[in-house]
Amino acid sequence: MKRTEALEYHSRGRPGKIAVVPTKPLTNQRDLALAYSPGVAEPCLEIQKQPEDAYKYTARGNLVAVVSNGTAVLGLGNIGALAAKPVMEGKANLFKQFADLDVFDLEVGSESPDDVIRFCQLLEPTVGGINLEDIRAPDCFYIEEALRKSMKIPVFHDDQHGTAIISGAALLNALEVAGKDIAQVKVVFCGAGAAAISTAAHYVRLGVKLEHLVMVDREGVIWKGRPGHMDPYKARFANDTPARTLAEALVGADVFVGLSQAGALTGAMVKEMAPRPVIFALANPVPEILPEEVRAVRDDAIVATGRSDYPNQVNNVLGFPFIFRGALDARATEVNEEMKMAATRALAQLAKEDVPDSVSSLYGLRSVTFGPEYLIPFPFDPRVLLWVAPAVAWAAVASGVARNFIDLDAYHDQLESRLGRARGIMRGIINRAMRDPRRVVFPEGTDPRVMRAAAIVAEEGIGLPILLGNREEIERVAAGSSIPLRDIAIEDPRTSRKREPYVAHLWERRQRKGLSHGEAAQRLLNTNYFGSLMVANGDADALVSGVTQHYPETIRPALEVIGAQQPAGLVSGMYLLVTEKHVIFCGDTTVTIDPTADQLAQIAIAAARLVRTFGIEPHIAMLSFSNFGSVPHPEAAKVAEAVRIVREKDPTLEIDGEMQADVAVDEATLRAGYPFSVLKAAANVLIFPNLSAGNIAYKLLKTLGGATAIGPILVGMKRPVHVLEQGADVQAIVNMTAVAVMDAQERHQPAGPPARDSAARSPRQTPIL
């Protein structure tokens, strides 16, 4: 990740990453009187009489304070409270995105542990829990202990306990896979900071014997009698061992846990470990040893890291959002050891459950099963909330620290309704693209937005970008905008060796459409034609364009060169709209102006195919101004006929209509008024009767409804071609590129340069917007 990109991400639009959003209307004088004086006095008086009513009348029960003094920030060290603020805002974002918890990030301008303690104690009436973050050791131990003793709300230092809880789940499962008894294994820790000490203590509670655990710090093995000062937290793990170095400690060891620095573990050390060793190399961003370095010397090792590009990512986001969710919902007075243990065991058990296709597809995997490369759930698995939060809440009840009894069945439904399935959808698409990146050509290669997006695509491993345009101009613009061009191919249509074969290809394809050989040569100066020919000839796997041009100017070359998939011969444009609670696919929004019933049916079938590639089961509503024949009109009859055609062509699809939009998306309305409908859930695929309706609807949802729009996703092209909205920003280009890569993967195209392939011929598409 480049410095300029990180700074631009944090500064664009409203600075920072979080905002306060009101939950009650304030649109008139009555609302004002209720929200503030005089109406606000009533809940104040109720809380004065019964303090627990603060959870009924205020946001306290969903509010966490993330508190730091900036003395141990990530890998940056002691950078101070103010400089730590971006990290704390990021933590707040994760709380909200993964567990729907609101956060105040509070940076304390003091390095005195007692100041931090007093500050947190004074916060108790304001928040439901406190997450301590990035506070140096041993201060963090002292602060947390003092707060747990003096406060009646959950206090949790994630740097200590997060790694312990998540890696503890991985340990239980790794030992099960390796066939080893936790009471017999020898564990070596490399690193003796807050995370290592807490993790070691958690492992002992899980069953590792203290005498079988060796800890190594900067000075070597922590052994009984080692000279020099040793704080009491480290002293607990002083072992009676002759080993003095990490290499000596690892001889015959079953488990390595690295919480130190890159390169601390070598292949030679791994060779000396016991059979079927477990290696947790958790230093970030570069682990103590890379998985491929382990495999070079041991093919029986089980490896986990803190990175997302390797299996078994030990990521704290699997813990803290859901632990606080359960603790606050149970109104726990603390996060005790029983609750931490419950979180560990819930994560370990979830990894053994069948992984739904909707989860595995988010990561671009066909199937995922418990084993050496799947020890713990994925961070974007929505089931984690439904397993960990109830386990933590129930542990709070069972251990006597809860003030609110939890009905697990009702609580499960409550959690489901909090997040829906919308969160993480784009991250899932990007993860899937990263599994098998493909070559994506960008015809607008001289545009700085496209260049910056291509740089992100290359750096993140989402795809293999190819920029079209004059090399000198591209390099000049890139230098002026500080955009790196590393791992980005550049192809100049004017000088390319592919030019003459492409001219011949285009002329052959269009010569009976009135195109001369000279005109074909002239058209190749249009980069959209050149890019389309690259895709048609197998020199690129997908095309993404449209930032600087109107939609017809972008799609027409692709239709002429590549054409529609046969036998349907119909292209349509879908938008994926992501709201706070819903994921909705809308079509056709960009291509066919006035589709016939047969064309509507084709659009619906193609949409269902697309939706399934996202790991989502389609529930299709064919929209109209009429509900199931309520308004006799040819337009409504056309939609009803389309439903009949779809059912005839694919009886397995869940589709109904014609119906109005509110009936389609509101399951309660559908069930109450039309119990005969075959839809088993609210519709997540909306097929509009014509282009006007579809285009207007998605733009209203995006502009007034606050939906995030991903698209248009072209469906029905013979090869992957995707057209951006004119003026699309960098992130929209990156998102569409990930969709294009996923499209290429779905078509099972080879990842490397394929043999030259003559594109099949197809007729020109119907009218376009």
Q: Do residues 297 and 279 make contact, with C-beta atoms less than 8 angstroms apart? A: no
pLDDT of 755 reads: 32
Share of the chain above pLDDT 70, in %: 95
Q: Do residues 217 and 192 make contact, with C-beta atoms less than 8 angstroms apart? A: yes
Global pTM?
0.69
- Average pLDDT of the residues of the chain: 90
b/e 691-729 (16+ beta carbons within 10 angstroms → b): bebbbebbeebbeeeebbbbbbbbbbbbbbbbbbbeebb
User: What are the beta bridge partners of residue 489?
Assistant: 466
Give, as one character, the DSSP assignment of residue 223: B
The Cα–Cα gap between 660 and 622 comes to: 8
**At 146, which amino acid appears?**
A
Element (H, E) at 395: helix 383-398
Q: Phi then psi for 691, rounded to 5 degrees?
A: -65, -35
Q: Is 672 exposed, middle or buried (0-12, 13-18, 19+ CB in 10 A)?
A: exposed
pLDDT of 586 reads: 95
Name the residue among 178, 73, 64 with its Cα closest to residue 124: 64
Q: Do residues 128 and 60 make contact, with C-beta atoms less than 8 angstroms apart? A: yes
Give, as one character, the DSSP assignment of residue 587: E
pLDDT band (50, 70, 90) for residue 683? very high
The Cα–Cα gap between 598 and 600 comes to: 5
Q: Is the pLDDT of residue 762 over 50?
A: no
Output the six-digit token pair for 608. Answer: 């269902």
Q: Do residues 440 and 544 make contact, with C-beta atoms less than 8 angstroms apart? A: yes
- Tell me the pLDDT tens digit for each residue of 69-116: 999 997 788 999 999 999 999 999 999 989 999 999 999 999 999 999
- Tell me the pLDDT tens digit for each residue of 164-190: 999 999 999 999 999 999 999 999 999
DSSP-based three-state secondary structure for 68: strand
How confident is the model over 674-702, as a mean pLDDT?
Answer: 94
Q: Phi then psi for 752, rounded to 5 degrees?
A: -90, 175
Output the six-digit token pair for 553. Answer: 């100017």
pLDDT band (50, 70, 90) for residue 763? very low
Q: What is the 3-state secondary structure (H, E, C) of 262-297?
A: CCCCCHHHHHCCCCCCEEEECCCCCCCCCHHHHHHH
pLDDT of 764 reads: 27
Give, as one character, the DSSP assignment of residue 759: P
Output the six-digit token pair for 14. Answer: 């409203």
b/e 623-660 (16+ beta carbons within 10 angstroms → b): bbbbbbeeeeeeebbbbbbbbebbeeeeeebbbbbbbb
- Tell me the pLDDT tens digit for each residue of 452-471: 999 999 988 999 999 999 99
pLDDT of 415 reads: 86
Name the residue among 577, 670, 580 with its Cα closest to residue 623: 670
- Annotated catalytic residues are 36, 91
Residue corresponding to tokens 């690892």: 250
- How many other C-beta atoms can be found within 10 angstroms of the C-beta atom of residue 582? 14
Give, as one character, the DSSP assignment of residue 717: B
- Tell me the pLDDT tens digit for each residue of 300-339: 999 999 988 899 999 999 999 999 999 999 999 999 999 9
Q: Is the pLDDT of residue 480 over 80?
A: yes
How confident is the model over 25-41, as a mean pLDDT?
Answer: 92
- How many other C-beta atoms can be found within 10 angstroms of the C-beta atom of residue 169? 26
Name the residue among 529, 507, 533 with its Cα closest to residue 520: 507
The Cα–Cα gap between 171 and 696 comes to: 53
Q: Is the pLDDT of residue 757 over 60?
A: no
Q: Is the pLDDT of residue 343 over 50?
A: yes
Contacts of 303 (CB under 8 A, 6+ apart): 279, 280, 281, 291, 294, 310, 311, 312
